[in-house]
Structure 1
Amino acid sequence: MTAPWTPEHEVDAAQAALLIAEQFPALAGQPVVPLATGWDNTVHLVGGQWVFRFPRREIALRLLVHETAVLPRLAGRLPLPIPRPEFLGTPSARFPWPFWGARLLPGVELADTGLPDDQRTHAAVDLGGFLRRLHDPALAVLIATVSPAGVAAAATTTPGDRSPEAGPAVVLPHDPMRRADPGVRGPMARERLAALSAAGLWQPDPAVFRLLDEAEPLGPPDGPPVLVHGDLHQRHLLLAGDGRAAGVIDWGDVCLADPAVDLSLAYGGFAGGARAALLAAYGPVPPERAARARVLAVHLSAVLAEYAHAENRAALLREALAGIGRAAR
């Protein structure tokens, strides 16, 4: 079977350099080196200070529209750094899809830090405050409908740079992948866990299955949605060398949803005193919301583990497997 993260187009450093030089002459001649890959994007570092994201799969094009519309509107409104699109590339004969660039946010993915659970408190407090602001209902009202015109206005205007024409307003979807519904995510988690167990990567944990048994009957949430990152896991929180949170990246799944969608990282990425500190900074989380967040944390961690194993990413595999256990406790 083809892995779901298999690219349909993969831009290497040489092709990225040509595309960037062609559309953004101010960056021509800058060194281009691979930085990261994920399910949806290949990422290159340009000139040591610009990060360019090139879609790998057609499904990511819709996500690109959402993040490039939302991120400029969020700039300056959140207590942690987030990417701000400044170069917007258009489809061409060299590459059929749009792409974009932003200034590099320094930091290391939480998944790659190897930071022990008892040393994650500072990052947890930072993340709790960040999510409290992101989930402010007033912010959802402000951002729910955004126009790409805002992206064009925010783009870099140095000579040679250009932005695509402003299109129609972008209306953010409401939890399009049903991540806040344990009745959907629970069975998906069980399937991933069975595969991990069959591969000898994960020892079945009764606490995990008790969580799924108890939470799956909850069904979809019925409260008012808020603005959410949408795919917040251990790869998308950046940490600085001192263990503080340094930024939140990869906003392609930004949408309106129950806060549980983002709070999943509180349970998959943090435990013990660090999680308590995160939730104290965030505010009260009702038990049903916590259960939804935990189920999603199990599923996301299992997906990350499967991906990490296939891609030979040992640090990510260790973090993802640990996340499954954290989420159930």
Structure 2
Amino acid sequence: MTVHRMPAAEVEVSVALVRRLLAEQHPDLAGLPVEVLANGWDNLVCRLGADLLVRLPRRAAAAELLAHEQRWLPELAGRLPLPVPAPVRVGRPAEGFPWAWSVVPYLPGDNAAHATLPDSEAAALGGFLAALHLPAAPDAPVNVFRGIPLVGRAEGVHAGLEHLADASDRAAALRVWQTAVTAPARTGPPLWLHGDLHPANILVDAGRISAVIDFGDLTSGDPATDLAVAWMLFPDAHRRSVLRRAYGRADDDAWTRARGWALVLALVLHTHSADSPLMAGIGERTLRAVLADDGRAV
């Protein structure tokens, strides 16, 4: 299995830097308490008082993703029925820090990876996706790995299949893939996509979906990429059907492609999450859901 280790920060990020940037650019926020919430692959995230977070990119690739959120989330947030982290303040490069940074709302909840959600939340997520998946702006981001025709992921899928130890799993996954990759491609204008909609980017609070986060991979294209979340979050076919009905626009071909995308993402996580038990677990559960799905229309 390929092991992916967290990349080193390309610039030094710290609470002290956050305080200096706030004091210079947003002095009305500078007196609030600042504490590290997460120092991850892409961003240093600090709690700022009770209601806000500060996000500083740790590397250039992350700065580009954060710029997508700054540009587009304020426009999209108003039509979405669940909270999203649209920036409330934008910071500029300063104090030796080379990139833009954001102050966003603190959205309560834990990631949905281990949540068991009722039908109402499957419907809520379907409604959220229906509201998001509208024709994208002409200058919307385009991602060469997401929202594309499934055939563009064929090489990675066949490589990922080799990492499945069980021969019956490999055979079943190959059947799913062949069905999905030969389904008719989507026609029509590219739609807005979250682009990275897995359970760790969905927050749950008191048994309900409280927010959808991490829109750095926001892109445009075939919504089947996002609809893969049905298998990533709901192991049972019934709740997937609830999501599909609430979404309302997934014909059988789109749903077949979505199952193919769920397989794509399951194999990626299975192959490349050796240092992340959380993501490896999401990959394994998604794979089991995909292989247990008989593919019949719901």
Tell me if both proteins adopt one fold, taking TM over 0.5 as the criterion.
yes
Q: Which residue of 2 aligns with 1:191?
A: 159
| Alpha-carbon separation, structure 1, partners of 2:280 and 2:214 | 19
| Runs ≥4 residues deviating over 6 A | none
RMSD: 2.8
Q: Which moved more, 1:292-301 or 1:203-212?
A: 203-212
Q: 1:278 aligns with which of 225, 230, 243?
A: 243
Q: Which residue of 2 aligns with 1:245?
A: 209
Q: Which residue of 2 aligns with 1:176?
A: 144
The Cα of 1:307 is off from its aligned counterpart by 5.4
Distance 1:308 1:37, change over 3 A: farther
Give the aligned residue type for 2:173: V
| Alpha-carbon separation, structure 2, partners of 1:61 and 1:128 | 30
Q: 2:230 aligns with which of 266, 280, 296?
A: 266
Matched, 1:66 2:30: no
Between the two proteins, the alignment pairs up a number of residues equal to 289
| Alpha-carbon separation, structure 1, partners of 2:102 and 2:65 | 12
Matched, 1:223 2:188: yes
The Cα of 1:67 is off from its aligned counterpart by 1.5
| Alpha-carbon separation, structure 1, partners of 2:180 and 2:73 | 33
Q: Which residue of 2 aligns with 1:327?
A: 290
Note the alpha carbon deviations across 1:266-315, whole angstroms, 9 max, x for none. Answer: 1222132211111111114223222222222223234345554314xx34
Distance 1:33 1:209, change over 3 A: farther
Q: Which residue of 1 aligns with 2:55?
A: 53
Q: Which residue of 1 aligns with 2:296?
A: none
The Cα of 1:203 is off from its aligned counterpart by 8.8
Gaps of 5+ in 2: 294-298
Give the structure-2-normalised TM-score: 0.84
Give the aligned residue type for 1:99: W
| Alpha-carbon separation, structure 2, partners of 1:181 and 1:45 | 39
Distance 1:210 1:253, change over 3 A: same
Q: Which residue of 2 aligns with 1:127?
A: 125
Q: Which residue of 1 aligns with 2:7?
A: 6
Distance 1:121 1:45, change over 3 A: same
Distance 1:185 1:97, change over 3 A: same
Equivalent pair of 1:126/1:244 in contact (CA under 8 Å): no
Gaps of 5+ in 1: 146-170
| Alpha-carbon separation, structure 2, partners of 1:247 and 1:274 | 19
Q: 1:209 aligns with which of 174, 190, 197?
A: 174
Equivalent pair of 2:147/2:193 in contact (CA under 8 Å): no
Equivalent pair of 2:203/2:211 in contact (CA under 8 Å): yes
Q: Percent identity?
A: 36
Equivalent pair of 1:183/1:219 in contact (CA under 8 Å): no
Matched, 1:288 2:289: no
Q: Which moved more, 1:51-60 or 1:13-22?
A: 13-22
| Alpha-carbon separation, structure 1, partners of 2:84 and 2:199 | 15
| Alpha-carbon separation, structure 2, partners of 1:82 and 1:182 | 28
Give the structure-1-normalised TM-score: 0.77
Q: Which residue of 2 aligns with 1:154?
A: none
| Alpha-carbon separation, structure 2, partners of 1:256 and 1:297 | 18
